Structure 1
Amino acid sequence: MSEFHFAEILLPGGWVRNVEITVDAAGRIASISPDTPPGPEAVCLGVAVPGMANVHSHAFQRGMAGLSERRGPGEDSFWSWRQIMYAFNDNLTPDHVEAMAALVYCEMLETGFTSVGEFHYLHHDEHGQAYNDIGEMAGRICAAAGATGIALTLLPVLYRHSNFGEMPPSPGQRRFINTLDHFADIIASAKRHMATIDHAVLGIAPHSLRAASTAEITAILPLSEGGPVHIHAAEQQKEVDDCLAATGKRPVEYLFDTQSVDERWCLIHATHMSARETAALAASGAVAGLCPLTEANLGDGFFNASAYLADHGRIGIGSDSHIRIDLAEDIRLLEYGQRLQAQRRNVLAPPGGSTGRRLFDAALSGSNQALQQPSGRIEAGQRADFVILDDHHPTLVGRSEDARLDSWLFCGDSRLVREVYVGGQCVVREGRALTRDRIEAAYRTAMLDIRTAIDQ
């Protein structure tokens, strides 16, 4: 049993001072004792908040961050960005993917994420052929998570078609494509790899309604075995238009008409929803997986957070393409997008309440629900995931409770995160992941190798 003492910590009921927490050998919280001085063997950790779950990640896209910021001959959009992504994929080996994922997970930990949902669709070699172990790439994702200490919800992706109407995949999608039988084999392989690491949860992810038919989605749902089900939905207006043309319905409407969407589901982006779709998603208990920094970078549009949260909808936060990884900035941008649209301030806060606290609590709850991780709440039985803030940083000096949280989320960044614990184990100290030096060196080698392959 390990003992930790906090000068101040955010519990489900609010901020509490002078708290001792014991953690069992499995990394779960055994007891919480407010108004308790530190024991002789307690690790004293200052001011803490629960660890956040990163609801949506494509780890390999970290390697192309910054490479798509040059305008093409016409108008650029998500769809032109996607062609750059396909070209970048052509040069990736399993070693490259593991190196990129490990750096991504270090960066997530350093900004306050303690678990990640890896929406994993880069399955095969550069020719579109399966590796000897069809789940080789899934194994590399597991290895990266194990090396850094982050908790992993692995979401192998079924990708079958290029568009609605079961259109044939394009050459650039060859590394993603599987039959239903091969997808089941990937799931079986992923289970074996996940058994080698701690804090691992397995789900499934039909990529989108354009990449997997509703019949195919129905066919693979039993493979989830009650685990999470994630799907991209209504990210782009073109996707909405194509779905209307093919089915007569909008994407979220079509999904709800063909699937039993419930609390296990997470709809990634859900940017372009009608009022009816917004209300239906909120009522379903499913989570909207929002990725504000990526959505801004890709020009996706604004999620209707004000109406959705008013309907008691659930949200999660993800870093998606990893154009930048910063928990505070993603939450900040979610609120700022609503302010720019509404031309008001503190749009998503309850009357008289803290905007930062409202969004932090909502993202904690929704993200951990979507990943089915036993964290996000500091209470007995939950995993001991703690994010220790630097309360001596100028941004936080003179702040307490929700004002401290607001100052971190609206004025700060990852530099305000001092230490991070996952399952009671320290993974970040003095703002730096404990494994970063080795992982960063491997990433540099991978990126230089990729650059050489591209130049050839």
Structure 2
Amino acid sequence: MRRLILEHALLPGGWARNVGLDIEGGTIAAVLPNASAEGRERVAGIALPGLPNLHSHTFQRGMAGLAETRGPEGDSFWTWRQVMYRFLGSLTPEDVEAIAAFAMMEMLEGGFTALAEFHYLHHDAQGRPYADIAELSGRIAAAAQETGIGLTLLPVFYAQGGFGGAAPVEGQRRFVTDPESYARLVEGARRAVAALDDAVIGIAPHSLRAVTPESLREAVALAGDGPVHIHIAEQVKEVEDCLAWSGQRPVAWLLDHTPVDRRWCLIHATHLDAKETKGIAASGAVAGLCPITEANLGDGIFEGVDYLSAQGRFGVGSDSNIEITAPGELRQFEYSQRLKHRARNVLAAHEGQSTGRSLYEKASSGGAQALGRRIGALAPGHRADLVVLDARHPDLAALSGDRWIDSYVFVTGKAAIDTVFVAGKPVVRSGRHVSRDAIQERYARAMARILA
């Protein structure tokens, strides 16, 4: 049993002081506001539940900044994708692990305490399976073990190059599996995470363009009660291609042909009509938003106001990992809506509500659902994941209550983070990961070789 006393904490019922937290086996056993500090480890500052990161491709952290040179006219997601294909061509398993560990370390330093890794890099540079088909899943698990981040691993099913059975292009050869080999890959991923505490395995059909209706059904059947994530309606071209293939928009097709429910997380869902927006909300699925990456790629702006008005659930992810910051993703989501609607505090539900707190609590709840985990709240039965802000920071020192979280999201960002606990264990102190030096050195060596 680990017994903490939190100076200030955001509980499901609101702010509290001197909160006793009893932690057993990494899980919160009891939450005791106004507790005595006797016999407890004092945690100074402002404790928030750790935010889940519901979408990431960790290997892309290594290519951050490499696609910021203007290409041909019409530079877009599709030209960015060519840069990505070239980058991953030379990655070894050791590189994949080193980059993943660095990205996960930055996630923890940036306020994320659990990760859904949408993992589609499976084979060697020639597209051949490794002797252990789940070799690279094992590398992701090893990085999670080293950094301490909570892991939901989502092996990706990628069967074709485009709608209508288009053949994969050369750049996709490290991704492609058939239903039979994908089933083996999922089982291998389960073995890879077995040594981790509290890990979850889910299923991730890459996108409607990367699977057939038949193979999508086969993949989803492997999920059981676990999470199911899919990229969908990210780009206008994707919507147009889906209409040409099926006569329906991507989200409409998915809702009509697949039993979408609370297990599902629809990543991006940038381009929706009104019926699709309400349909996702009614299904109980989570919209997986990655506002910084969506802005970087020029994807477009999610229909946030209408979706939240329909009681839709959402969470945020770091996706391409060009900038890893939990508060920054929330801020970008709100700011995108302000630009779209030319208004302020757009995503707060009612007058007098803190926008920062509303975003944080909704993303915590939606992210936890998408990861299939008991996280995202300082409450009994939840994993003891905490992000503790420095109450002495100049931007926070004169504030209290919801003003703290508004400043964290909209002003100070991850610079406010002092300590991070995962499953009751401190993994970040004074804003630095406890193993930063070794992880950073290994990452630097890998990148020097890759970019030589």
TM above 0.5 = yes
What aligned pairs does 1:51-450 form with structure 2 within 5 A after superposition? 51-350=50-349, 351-450=351-450
1:412 aligns to what SS in structure 2?
helix
Distance (whole Å) between structure 2 residues aligned to residue 12 and residue 227 of structure 1: 25
Whichever residue aligns with residue 393 of structure 1, its letter is H
1:37 offset after TM fit, Å?
A: 2.2
Whichever residue aligns with residue 45 of structure 1, its letter is A
1:123 aligns to what SS in structure 2?
coil
Distance (whole Å) between structure 2 residues aligned to residue 151 and residue 324 of structure 1: 20
Whichever residue aligns with residue 447 of structure 2, its letter is M
1:222 offset after TM fit, Å?
A: 2.3
- 1:4 is aligned to 4
Whichever residue aligns with residue 447 of structure 1, its letter is M
Tell me if the contact between 2:7 and 2:42 (Cα under 8 Å) persists in the aligned partners: no
2:69 aligns to what SS in structure 1?
coil
Whichever residue aligns with residue 79 of structure 1, its letter is W
Structure 1 unpaired stretches of 5+: none
Could you list the per-position Cα deviations for residues 113-169 of structure 1 after superposition, in whole angstroms to 9, with x for gaps in the alignment? 100000000000000000000000000000000000000000000001111101111
Could you list the per-position Cα deviations for residues 351-384 of structure 1 after superposition, in whole angstroms to 9, with x for gaps in the alignment? 2211001110110000010001211011111111
1:254 aligns to what SS in structure 2?
helix
Could you list the per-position Cα deviations for residues 91-126 of structure 1 after superposition, in whole angstroms to 9, with x for gaps in the alignment? 101000000000000000001110000000000000
Whichever residue aligns with residue 448 of structure 1, its letter is A
Distance (whole Å) between structure 2 residues aligned to residue 108 and residue 42 of structure 1: 25
Task: Give yes or no for the alignment of 1:38 onto 2:2.
Answer: no
Whichever residue aligns with residue 304 of structure 1, its letter is E
Tell me if the contact between 1:357 and 1:406 (Cα under 8 Å) persists in the aligned partners: yes
**Alpha-carbon spacing, 1:286–1:347, altered in 2? closer, same or farther (3 Å):** same
Tell me if the contact between 1:4 and 1:45 (Cα under 8 Å) persists in the aligned partners: no
Distance (whole Å) between structure 2 residues aligned to residue 150 and residue 44 of structure 1: 20
Whichever residue aligns with residue 363 of structure 1, its letter is A
- 2:15 is aligned to 15
After superposition, the CA RMSD in angstroms is 0.8
Structure 2 unpaired stretches of 5+: none
Distance (whole Å) between structure 2 residues aligned to residue 158 and residue 119 of structure 1: 10
Tell me if the contact between 1:55 and 1:316 (Cα under 8 Å) persists in the aligned partners: yes
- 2:46 is aligned to 47
Tell me if the contact between 2:64 and 2:321 (Cα under 8 Å) persists in the aligned partners: yes
1:45 offset after TM fit, Å?
A: 3.4
Tell me if the contact between 1:328 and 1:413 (Cα under 8 Å) persists in the aligned partners: yes
Name the TM-score, length of structure 2 as normaliser. 0.99
Distance (whole Å) between structure 2 residues aligned to residue 327 and residue 399 of structure 1: 21
Distance (whole Å) between structure 2 residues aligned to residue 18 and residue 188 of structure 1: 45
Tell me if the contact between 2:116 and 2:153 (Cα under 8 Å) persists in the aligned partners: yes
Tell me if the contact between 1:418 and 1:428 (Cα under 8 Å) persists in the aligned partners: yes
Distance (whole Å) between structure 2 residues aligned to residue 73 and residue 165 of structure 1: 28
1:446 offset after TM fit, Å?
A: 0.5
Distance (whole Å) between structure 1 residues aligned to residue 391 and residue 157 of structure 2: 44
Distance (whole Å) between structure 2 residues aligned to residue 176 and residue 44 of structure 1: 44
Tell me if the contact between 1:38 and 1:44 (Cα under 8 Å) persists in the aligned partners: no
2:382 aligns to what SS in structure 1?
coil
Tell me if the contact between 1:18 and 1:36 (Cα under 8 Å) persists in the aligned partners: yes
Identity, in percent, stands at 52
Tell me if the contact between 1:328 and 1:409 (Cα under 8 Å) persists in the aligned partners: yes
Distance (whole Å) between structure 2 residues aligned to residue 222 and residue 337 of structure 1: 36
1:188 offset after TM fit, Å?
A: 1.0
Tell me if the contact between 1:112 and 1:387 (Cα under 8 Å) persists in the aligned partners: yes
Could you list the per-position Cα deviations for residues 290-339 of structure 1 after superposition, in whole angstroms to 9, with x for gaps in the alignment? 00000000000000100000100000100000010011111001000100
Whichever residue aligns with residue 196 of structure 1, its letter is A
Aligned length: 451
Name the TM-score, length of structure 1 as normaliser. 0.98
- Greater Cα shift, 344-353 or 202-211: 344-353
Tell me if the contact between 1:386 and 1:421 (Cα under 8 Å) persists in the aligned partners: yes
1:44 offset after TM fit, Å?
A: 2.7
1:87 aligns to what SS in structure 2?
helix
Could you list the per-position Cα deviations for residues 38-65 of structure 1 after superposition, in whole angstroms to 9, with x for gaps in the alignment? 1234233331000010000000000000
1:207 offset after TM fit, Å?
A: 0.2
1:73 offset after TM fit, Å?
A: 2.7
- Greater Cα shift, 39-48 or 254-263: 39-48
Whichever residue aligns with residue 162 of structure 2, its letter is N
1:187 aligns to what SS in structure 2?
helix
Tell me if the contact between 2:5 and 2:40 (Cα under 8 Å) persists in the aligned partners: no
Distance (whole Å) between structure 2 residues aligned to residue 115 and residue 100 of structure 1: 17
1:125 aligns to what SS in structure 2?
coil
1:74 offset after TM fit, Å?
A: 2.0
1:413 aligns to what SS in structure 2?
helix
1:226 offset after TM fit, Å?
A: 1.1
- Greater Cα shift, 274-283 or 346-355: 346-355
Tell me if the contact between 1:158 and 1:207 (Cα under 8 Å) persists in the aligned partners: yes
